[in-house]
Amino acid sequence: MGMAEEPERLIAEDGTRLDGRKPDELRPLRIQAGVLKRADGSAYLELGSNKIIAAVYGPRELHPRHKQKPDRAVIRFRYNMAPFSVDERKRPGPDRRSIEISKLSKEALEPALFTEYYPRTAIDIFVEVLQADAGTRCAGITAASVALADAGIEMKDLVAAVAAGKVDGHIVLDPMYYEDGYGEADVPLAMMPKYDAITLLQMDGNMTEDEFKEAVRLAKKGCKIIYREQRRALKRKYGGE
Ligand code: ADP
């Protein structure tokens, strides 16, 4: 997977990371709401080198009708990586990874939506990863949440998401590609900050219980910063509180 040779160490003596971040620091984050004309809601997000577009269509009448739910909206989510989003061209189209990420992203967002307000409809969420540098499932959820709000869909709260990881024995926030690739573990987390409610929690790799707790603490802290940026992006478009 076109990754440069492993550097001797990923974290310096004083805790500084390869890109100069402290262990509890996010990559630079930029969010813009309402970037697509034809979608009902949309958002563009950059987190370090990740570049992601989210588009929302709906609520709109669901066809075929037998797929409608009489008491709520059906949420559909498609995560996709552009062929040019990674070093070596990614084969276009869905693979096992993107199907799995689509499913868990939908499950991370659904608790935040008042689906019962929109019976017999579908809400379609599309996440397109234009450039990937680890943490894209979380960045996609963050962007999709802003796109849902931009579409005017009633929500209990925004969902913010970010991963924490274990790298060189250190627990760090928001691992980039090198750290993810050579790291020991990765813990993606999504939450509704207003309710302190986690809607996605995964762990890939190995950690002790204490390390896992620290990873969750760091990721939650990261989500709160991301949440502020999500709200700022919406305020920039819609003004006021
Ligand atoms: P996430 O992006 O949520 O961290 P993974 O842990 O599966 O998901 O992937 C980590 C990173 O590995 C991705 O963000 C991307 O930079 C890279 N990657 C994933 N799939 C591929 C692929 N098919 N080809 C090349 N790089 C990939």
From first to last of its 241 residues, the chain has per-residue pLDDT tens of: 456 677 778 999 888 999 999 999 999 999 999 999 999 999 999 999 999 999 999 999 999 999 999 999 999 999 999 999 999 999 999 999 999 999 999 999 999 999 999 999 999 999 999 999 999 999 999 999 999 999 999 999 999 999 999 999 999 999 999 999 989 999 999 999 999 999 999 999 999 999 999 999 999 999 999 999 999 999 999 987 5
What gap in Å lies between CA 193 and CA 6, rounded to an integer? 36
- Take atom 13 of ligand 1 and give the residue whose Cα is closest: 134
Distance 132 CA to ligand 1 centre (A): 7
Q: What is the pTM of this model?
A: 0.97
Q: Is the CB of 89 within 6 Å of ligand 1?
A: no
- Take atom 26 of ligand 1 and give the residue whose Cα is closest: 86
Closest CA to 148 of 75, 99, 220, 48: 75
Residue 3: the pLDDT is 66
Q: Under DSSP, is residue 83 helix (H, G, I), strand (E, B) or coil?
A: coil
Q: Cα–Cα distances in Å, from 167 out to 42, 45, 61, 190? A: 34, 25, 47, 21
Residue 98: the pLDDT is 98
Q: Is the CB of 231 within 6 Å of ligand 1?
A: no
Residue 146: the pLDDT is 98
Residue 13: the pLDDT is 86
Distance 131 CA to ligand 1 centre (A): 10
Q: Which atom of ligand 1 is nearest the CA belonging to 188?
A: 3
Distance 182 CA to ligand 1 centre (A): 13
Q: Which long-range contacts (CB under 8 A, 24 or more apart) does 154-158 make?
A: 154/113, 154/114, 154/117, 155/112, 155/113, 155/114, 156/111, 156/112, 156/113, 156/114, 156/192, 156/194, 156/195, 157/112, 157/192, 157/193, 157/194, 157/195, 158/112, 158/192, 158/193, 158/227, 158/230, 158/231
- Domain 29-238 fold is Ribosomal Protein S5; domain 2 (3.30.230)
Give the CA dihedral 126, 131, 137, 139, nearest 10 degrees: -90
The residues spanned by each domain of the chain are 29-238
Q: Which atom of ligand 1 is nearest the CA belonging to 140?
A: 3
Residue 2: the pLDDT is 55
Q: Is the CB of 1 within 6 Å of ligand 1?
A: yes
- Residue carrying the six token digits 């993810």: 180
Distance 221 CA to ligand 1 centre (A): 23
Residue 241: the pLDDT is 53
Task: Give the Cβ contact number of residue 213 at 10 Å.
Answer: 12
